[in-house]
Amino acid sequence: MTELPLIPVPPERGREPGVVVLGRFQPFHRGHALMVEAAENWRCKNLPTNKLIIAIGSSNRSQSMTNPWSWEERVEMIQIWLDSAGIDSAEIIAIPDIDDPSNWVEHASQYHGNAGVFFTSDVASANLYETAGWQVELTALEARDQYEGWRVRGTAMMMSTVTDSDAILMVLSPSIPKSVVSHLIEIDGLRRLAFLGDGGEPVG
């Protein structure tokens, strides 16, 4: 098995503990937006002096239908949505995969900081962080079926050869924030999906 490259490398200085939201954000959809808003509301109420840290996983994966957008492109998507939502307390970071769940939290902590609060709707991830001694805030994800990553990507793929921007906005906006859809149209970030079909996908 080929070892994944460490892209990006960990920062030289560790980050202060914050409220961490972790996802692949392929793409950043309305389910992610609801999660980030819930985390920000919790942070404002409980830890207003701490930062909201949005951690992008799978930053070192090769381009595929499961991972169509680079981590830099996902940073842009999230930042555009944060600006439109008026959230200015967040820091966006990228974390490479290591394919080793038992050591994930130790690895990820080099990027997002140690022993903060992990805010998630994913039970498996919650268990990993809780076992590592983190405070975990487990929340329900509204309309989970509608906002599953593979489903959103599938709809985006259907629109990948459409050139009518209004039609793309109409079809994708129910599952992806309009500001993100507009950005993807502007950078021609959907067309690649027509050429990346590679079979079954995990949820994410």
Point out the least confidently predicted range of 46-50, 94-98, 198-202. Answer: 198-202
Q: Is residue 164 part of a domain?
A: yes
Asked if 132 and 175 sit in the same domain, the reply is no
* Residue (of 4, 61, 26, 20) closest to 203 by Cα position: 26
% of the chain with per-residue pLDDT over 70: 92
Structural domain total, the chain = 2
What global pTM score does this model have?
0.92
Domain that holds residue 169: 149-193
Q: Give mean pLDDT, residues 171-190.
A: 97
What is the distance between the terminal CA atoms of the chain, rounded to a whole angstrom? 23
pLDDT at 52 over 90: yes
Q: Is residue 81 part of a domain?
A: yes
Q: Is residue 52 part of a domain?
A: yes
Report the pLDDT value the prediction gives residue 137, as an integer from 0 to 100: 97
Cβ(19)–Cβ(43) below 8 Å: yes
Which among 92, 111, 138 is the end of a domain?
A: 138
Asked if 50 and 119 sit in the same domain, the reply is yes
